Amino acid sequence: MATIKDVASDAGVAVGTVSKVLNGQYVSAENKRKVEESVRRLGYQMNYYARGLKTRYTYTIAVIVPDILNPFFACLVYHIEKELYKLGYKMFLCQSQMEPEKEAYYLRLVSQNKVDGIMGITFNENDAYFTGDIPAVIFDRHFRGPVCCISSDNFRGGELAAERLLAGGSRKLLYIRTGSSLSSETLKRGQGFASKCQERHASYEMLDLGDDADFYPEQGILEALKSRMEGGVPSFDGIYTSTDGLALEVIKQLDHLQIQVPRDVQVIGHDGLRRMNRGDYLVSSIAQPVEDMARAGVECLLRQIRKEETEDITILPVTFVEGGTTRIT
């Protein structure tokens, strides 16, 4: 098995340089690249337990998401794992499934030095775990303490959706959301939407179906839509939903009601999900820059681990994507 000396020799640098790279300390970009290539090529691995006892770094990050059945979370984890691997980190995957207990189990791993940091999406009231000196990055939500928040520009996303619906000829707009109200950042989707409608003096309604409607919300959506129809004619002609999953459910129910999308009603979702995560967009949507968010999150976490300064919150730009459920303008 390769030793640190083999790596230094292969890379043509000093052993101390290799050591610095492995411990995340500063070396020139060129030397860093050489060392990383040699580490990869020789399959060099430090002795884990020995290293664990000595440096207390595990080169392991725990990533928490509700579950990876949700394609948005799967995309986020996909990019995080790729990014972490590039930097020599392994990744524990924890699917919290909204169980505070399971989240707490993984959060404790940090304080027990079993992982160097934690990142992900949490909807539980685990604020208590984030008050100490734990390197942590949370997407779309603020915590007290030194936790970084990475988000995309949800407010602008809501504005964009309203702009696009209006540009496509819709005049009676409807916003529908489901899910936890804990995620402070994502609530801005509706706020941006309402703000733009007001600015444009457009008629709009805000509908919050709450937590319960998060999975299989068919009945709730159907009733909400039906109650907004008279004589087969809906009181709305443009819908923005808080997620693409919800947009798909809404379109399914509109189809039941024989309302055609986008002819009768335009629909815009949020997230920018693609068919099989690689193909066409599922619906017209506000796309989040998932890869950039993953990269920013990993970078922010590693800065915390190295005790460097970090921003409290990083907001990345969103874009409108055409997915066949809006009229071409």
Of 3, 15, 16, 69, which lies in the binding site for a copy of itself, with binding defined by CB under 8 A? 69
By C-beta, is 83 or 185 nearer to a copy of itself? 83
Provide the 8-state DSSP code for 294: H
Please choose, from the candidates 115, 99, 275, the residue with its C-alpha nearest in 3D space to the C-alpha of residue 107.
115
Specify whether the CB–CB gap between 252 and 218 falls below 8 A.
yes
Q: Does 83 bind a copy of itself (CB under 8 A)?
A: no
Gap between the Cα atoms of 284 and 268, Å rounded: 5
Gap between the Cα atoms of 208 and 206, Å rounded: 7
Q: Does 272 bind a copy of itself (CB under 8 A)?
A: no
Q: Does 256 bind a copy of itself (CB under 8 A)?
A: no
CB contact burial 52-64 (16+ within 10 A = b; e otherwise)? beeeebbbbbbbb
**Which range, of 85-93, 190-198, 230-238, 315-323, touches a copy of itself by CB under 8 A?**
85-93
User: Tokens at residue 59, please?
Assistant: 């080169």
Strand partners, 233: 230
The least distance separating a copy of itself from the CB of residue 298, rounded to whole angstroms, comes to 14
Q: Does 94 bind a copy of itself (CB under 8 A)?
A: yes
Q: Does 125 bind a copy of itself (CB under 8 A)?
A: no
Q: Does 75 bind a copy of itself (CB under 8 A)?
A: yes
Specify whether the CB–CB gap between 75 and 104 falls below 8 A.
no
The least distance separating a copy of itself from the CB of residue 318, rounded to whole angstroms, comes to 20
| Neighbour count for residue 133 (Cβ, 10 Å) | 11
Of 43, 125, 263, 328, which lies in the binding site for a copy of itself, with binding defined by CB under 8 A? 43
Q: Does 248 bind a copy of itself (CB under 8 A)?
A: yes
**Which range, of 5-13, 47-55, 162-170, 175-183, touches a copy of itself by CB under 8 A?**
47-55
Q: Where are the alpha helices (DSSP H) in the chain?
A: 4-11, 15-22, 29-42, 48-55, 71-86, 100-111, 154-167, 188-199, 218-226, 244-256, 290-305
Q: How far is CA 312 from the centre of its chain?
A: 16
By C-beta, is 55 or 235 nearer to a copy of itself? 55
Q: Does 112 bind a copy of itself (CB under 8 A)?
A: yes
Please choose, from the candidates 307, 298, 315, 310, the residue with its C-alpha nearest in 3D space to the C-alpha of residue 118.
298
Number of amino acids touching a copy of itself (CB under 8 A): 47
By C-beta, is 25 or 111 nearer to a copy of itself? 111
By C-beta, is 77 or 287 nearer to a copy of itself? 77
The least distance separating a copy of itself from the CB of residue 174, rounded to whole angstroms, comes to 21
- What are the residues binding a copy of itself (CB under 8 A)? 40, 43, 45, 48-49, 52-53, 60, 63, 67-71, 74-75, 77-78, 81-82, 85, 90-95, 97, 101-102, 104-105, 108-109, 112-114, 215-216, 245, 248-249, 275-279
